[in-house]
Chains A and B, each alone.
Chain A
Amino acid sequence: DQQVKQNSPSLSVQEGRISILNCDYTNSMFDYFLWYKKYPAEGPTFLISISSIKDKNEDGRFTVFLNKSAKHLSLHIVPSQPGDSAVYFCAAAGGTSYGKLTFGQGTILTVHP
């Protein structure tokens, strides 16, 4: 039972364009959502988060949008840079699992120069 799903295994964009990574969840008790970035042979690094009381959170080139009614969140990267090429994981927590993160499968982002 995959409670957090990233349905696109990979995404390819040109440098300077927008990258949009999507994530869907099924557990309505989730109230805190995060995005992590992972380079090969390294651990995931925290990128940005959003709580369910908000629908948008920005940090520089990164913006996360949350649509609670659709149980959907997205990460926008503008403009995309080659150094953004990595695996991106969305994660969620809340309800009885508070404090423990449930991760999606990951999306491999490739930004071409």
Chain B
Amino acid sequence: DAGITQSPRHKVTETGTPVTLRCHQTENHRYMYWYRQDPGHGLRLIHYSYGVKDTDKGEVSDGYSVSRSKTEDFLLTLESATSSQTSVYFCAIGILQGNYGYTFGSGTRLTVV
């Protein structure tokens, strides 16, 4: 996946527990994004980062926080997991220029029970 690794690939957690998903890139890319994929909604942006300690909210950020202390790592935390956060989470890197789009990781399937 072009130097993007997401961990874990699968996780089942209980309602009310905190969960952290990790995205690690080896491309030294400045721009990183977290999306969630749900049926009928496509992919929706949760948070994004334009550099170390430079993050901002996307369209579905409620209940999520992020941190980026190193260029290569972008962490997504569900502060208190709810069943509505059961989803597939994708990390992406890149900018939009020329004939290129973002590169996505393989995803993390999260189930909140």
Q: Can you name the residue of chain B whose Cβ is closest to the Cβ of A1? A: B59
Please tell me which one of the listed residues B1, B33, B101, B104 contacts residue A100 in the complex, with CB atoms under 8 A apart.
Answer: B33
User: B106 on the interface (CB 8 Å rule)?
Assistant: yes
B113 partner residues in chain A, CB cutoff 8 A: none
Would you list which residues of chain B between 33 and 56 have a CB under 8 Å from chain A?
Answer: 33, 35, 40-45, 48, 50
Which of A57, A100, A106 is within 8 Å of B42, CB to CB? A106
Cβ-based interface call for A45 (8 A): yes
Interface residues on A, range: 20 to 34
What 1/0 mask marks residues of chain A from 6 to 22 whose CB sits below 8 Å from any chain B CB? 10000000000000000
B contacts, CB < 8 Å to A: 1, 4, 31, 33, 35, 40-45, 48, 50, 58, 90, 92, 95-96, 99-107
B42 and A49 within 8 A (CB) = no
Chain A residues with Cβ below 8 Å from B58 are 100
Complex interface residues of chain A between 34 and 89 (CB less than 8 A to chain B): 34, 36, 41-46, 48-49, 57, 89
Q: Which residue of B lies closest to A90 (CB)?
A: B42
A: which residues have CB within 8 A of B?
4, 6, 32, 34, 36, 41-46, 48-49, 57, 89, 91, 93, 98-106
B43 adjacent to A89 (CB under 8 Å) = yes
Say which residue of B42, B96, B101 sits within 8 Å of A98 (CB atoms): B96
Instruction: Tell me which residues across on chain B come within 8 A of A106, comparing CB atoms.
Output: 42
